[in-house]
Structure 1
Amino acid sequence: MTEENALPEDALANEPKARWYTMQVYTGQEEKVKRYVLEESVREGLADQILNVHIPTEKKVEMRGGKRKVKEVVNFPGYMFIEMLLTPHSTHFILNAPSVLNFVGPDNHPHPLSESEVKRIIGRIQGDDEAVLEISFKVGDTVRVVDGPFNDFTGTVQEINEEKKRLKVTVSIFGRSTPVELAFQQVDAVQ
């Protein structure tokens, strides 16, 4: 680009910038709304204004019947985040999408998220792909060992170490209470 064709710097500074906003939607409809917004924005010619739709989720590991099950769980049910250029047309399009209730902000008007909020919400979740083990027991609960040398033993949870994802369980071996350390996935809660 030659010097005479270059845009003045202040013209670029006044150009509207896409920001992240929070939308409230019907709980359980997040994925349907995301699909609709992304597909219909292209048809409506808004693809340059609606850039990204994000539903924060994380993988949770549950132990059911001694089997590990990984499932995707929505972090903020009923809410989703949209990166968009705020124009009357794009705002009208979002507010009239099926299952969208409104924007989150004062008087339900779109209020952009700060950079730190975007990093905390969107960045954390995109960077963390590791499944989170859901702890379904607490100290004092009765558990059954489902894996390892103490398989089929029943015991009582004495300690929970969330960092190491391990439990200290007291089991009865030959009539004596013996503490054993087990991984979360080695036990099931007794109903």
Structure 2
Amino acid sequence: MSSERQNQTVGEKTLTLAAKPGMKWYVLRVASNKEEQVREALERKVKIEGLEDTIGRIIVPTQNEKRLRGGVARVYLRKMYPGYVFVEMITEKDGSVPEHVWFMIKETMGVGDFIGSEGKPSAMSDHDVEKMLLAVERAEEAPTLGIPFAKGDRVKVREGSFESFEGEVESMDVAKGIVTVLLTIFGRSTPVDVEYWQLEKV
């Protein structure tokens, strides 16, 4: 099935995989922490040079993430794919980027190269496009609590009564930001509840 003009339904939402016939999605490597600056600069250049028929959407997928520290919750905007910008565009018949478009992109501060081979960018698969666009759709939903651990992880307590103790993650209460860690205390494995920000991976 062609991805030139294709929709995917996810839940109750319909995601348009391509805005215009002939356009596909590509991944552009950019300097770390320069994703938004690159996106804004490219969007300005597209308008100034009248390239709307060649370049469509330019996206930096982000997610609202809630972090708890000492019982105080703050919301941060987290980039889901650090170091990458997603560009919807038309390429030449041989798969290469039109020369004038390539120069415009390369002259933008912070830009690296497209993911691909032999100087030609590789188009994203429909599955990856759907996943990326769904992340964009969900960006404005209630923030999630980002706990960077999973059951079975080896962790070390950085602060608190059990500072420097090491143990294994037993379970997590994501809503409260609490991680239950199995610590060896007086020779016995003991479950201890610790705020997630007090832990680090070993």
Query: What TM-score comes out, normalization by structure 1 length?
Result: 0.65
Question: Which residue, out of 21, 30, 36, partners 1:25?
Answer: 30
What is the letter of the counterpart of residue 127 of structure 2? S
Contact 2:158 2:199 in 1 (8 A): yes
Q: Report the equivalent of 1:135.
A: 147
Question: Which residue, out of 191, 194, 198, partners 1:189?
Answer: 198
3-state secondary structure, aligned to 1:102 = strand
- Give the drift of 1:164: 6.3
- Give the drift of 1:124: 3.2
The number of aligned residues is 158
Q: Report the equivalent of 1:126.
A: 137
Q: Report the equivalent of 2:57.
A: 52
Q: Does 1:71 align with 2:76?
A: yes
Q: Report the equivalent of 1:104.
A: 115
Q: Aligned equivalents of 1:190 and 1:164: distance in 2?
A: 17
Q: Does 1:34 align with 2:39?
A: yes
Q: Which moved more, 1:159-168 or 1:93-102?
A: 159-168
How far does the alpha carbon of each residue in 1:13-49 deviate from its partner, in whole angstroms, 9 at most, with x for none? xx96011000001111111110011011111111222
Q: Identify if the C-alpha distance between structure 1 residues 65 and 108 changes in structure 2 by more than 3 Å, giving closer, same or farther.
A: farther
Q: Structure 1 unaligned runs (5+)?
A: 1-14, 145-153, 171-178
Relative to its length, the structure with more helix (as a share) is: 1
Which is higher, the Rg of structure 1 or of structure 2?
A: 1
What is the letter of the counterpart of residue 117 of structure 1? D
Q: Structure 2 unaligned runs (5+)?
A: 1-19, 93-97, 183-190
3-state secondary structure, aligned to 1:47 = coil
3-state secondary structure, aligned to 1:51 = strand
3-state secondary structure, aligned to 1:98 = coil
Identity of aligned residues (%): 27
Contact 2:147 2:174 in 1 (8 A): no
Q: Identify if the C-alpha distance between structure 1 residues 96 and 134 changes in structure 2 by more than 3 Å, giving closer, same or farther.
A: same
Q: Aligned equivalents of 1:63 and 1:96: distance in 2?
A: 41
Query: What TM-score comes out, normalization by structure 2 length?
Result: 0.62
